[in-house]
Structure 1
Amino acid sequence: MTEILVAILLGIVEGVTEFLPVSSTGHLILASELLGYDSEQWAMFNVVIQLGAILAVVVLYWRTFWAVAVGLLQLNPVSWRFLRNLVIAFIPAAVIGLALHDHIEALLGSPRVVAVALIVGGIAILVIERLVRDAHIVGIADIPVVRVIGIGLIQCMAMVPGVSRSGATILGALSLGVERRTAAEFSFFLAIPTMLGATVLGLAKHGGTLASGRVGWTEIGVGFVVSFLVAILVIKWFVGIVSKHGFTPFAWYRIVAGSAALIWLSMR
């Protein structure tokens, strides 16, 4: 399989899974096992193409970002609370991610960890969807600071591959009283500083390997564009599904996919 074809396939996987509570990193790790390519050569690629999916959020929600930017200049308290909540929720991931970066990278080579995390995360979604009823907070700017800190800390669980950054953020928000659509959108917006930070850290540590390896900027460019286009379609679909049916369909998908992966890995 050529590098360009792998880049296209991984771009599709990233675009589909980045904002769904199913773990994009976990799916990319399992894809490396299924397709049989050298995951180490594609590790930096997998980090950078996440920016394509992040760009999809900026494009789809540009009116929101524009309104917040104008509001900040006009000293609008709602805009400042919006920015405050994103910054506060991002800080735990930044601090813990820097402290445990080497340990996190070690986990990225374990597809069995991914499979187990998919199953456990699916069960967690089912439990939280059944137990959480009092979701009264509507609007990112309206989330109290204490609950924002809680969401930021819960997001750190996603450093274990297979847990899902969006899933951890959404479940954390739901369990703290945030309604479904707001929880999903907060996850989208929080992905921007989180993934930008992860990409910058990855490039600082491993960027030099792009010039010397088989996987270079051409493959990254292809993966970036594909993940961007796919993510635009997925985000629109996801918000509609969540508003009508909640997160239960994704829980069952995680359980089935994780179980299938675990069986397949055990039989190899």
Structure 2
Amino acid sequence: MHVVVGLSSGRGIAVRALTGREEALVAEMRPPSPAAWGNAVLSFAAADPGSGEPIGRDAVRRLSLGDRERLLLAVYVATFGAADLVARCQGCGETVEVELDLAGFLAEAERRGRFSEAIDIAIEGDAPSLRGRLPLAGDLEEIAALAASDPSGAAEELLDRCLRTAGGPGAPNLTPERRDVARAALARAVEERDPDAEISVAMTCPNCARAHDALLDAATLLRGRGLAGDQIFVEVDRLARIYHWNEADILDLPRSRRLRYLALAGEHGA
């Protein structure tokens, strides 16, 4: 199955289901962070719609955060189809499950228009004029280790990566107060111009009727289906024992057929 996703630049990217071989490669990856893991998945599954060639890791790192999220959701749709989001109610703690219309979300995102990554930030007083860009997928990967141990430091690093002054990258001449202004302006720019950078889903708790929003993180959704674990190897092991096929032949099967053979084996008590 293929899904074509329109990027904020207007370019279309084809996303296909992961093959068994790629599922195995993904499961064996030991990336330094979830951000790096998600970028690596896209380096397999995202391709130029004309040539069919993967766009590669460098192109993935240049994606806006919203484009990255949409492409990862498209990987989910192409590989697994329907999805549910499970979250805990912020009021009573009850587990809430919502069926997601990912295909509908991706179609709606196509109608939101295009935007430029370049941004202008006005700061009052004698501060240098600032120009910048929206955060990119590569930025997430670069600050991931720092974010795990020092979220505030990671926010400062992201600000410096996205802003530049007349004197060069970053905003070294800004006072702490003006850095706060610049940071808030960057956050507003992301919210207004790259809204899919952080996707929320409205949920209502069936137990206490409290309505709240839950974060939909595409990489977490994918990892929840076992792509970051040993599920593919468990499936290969079982099929090899039952049907005496070799690993290469099993990994060459489309995922839907692999699961069908496993279901048939289960029906016959194998």
Shorter-normalised TM-score: what interval?
A: under 0.3
Greater RCO, 1 or 2 (C-alpha within 8 Å, sep 6+): 1
**TM-score when normalising by structure 1:** 0.25
Higher helix proportion: 1
Rg comparison, structure with higher value: 2
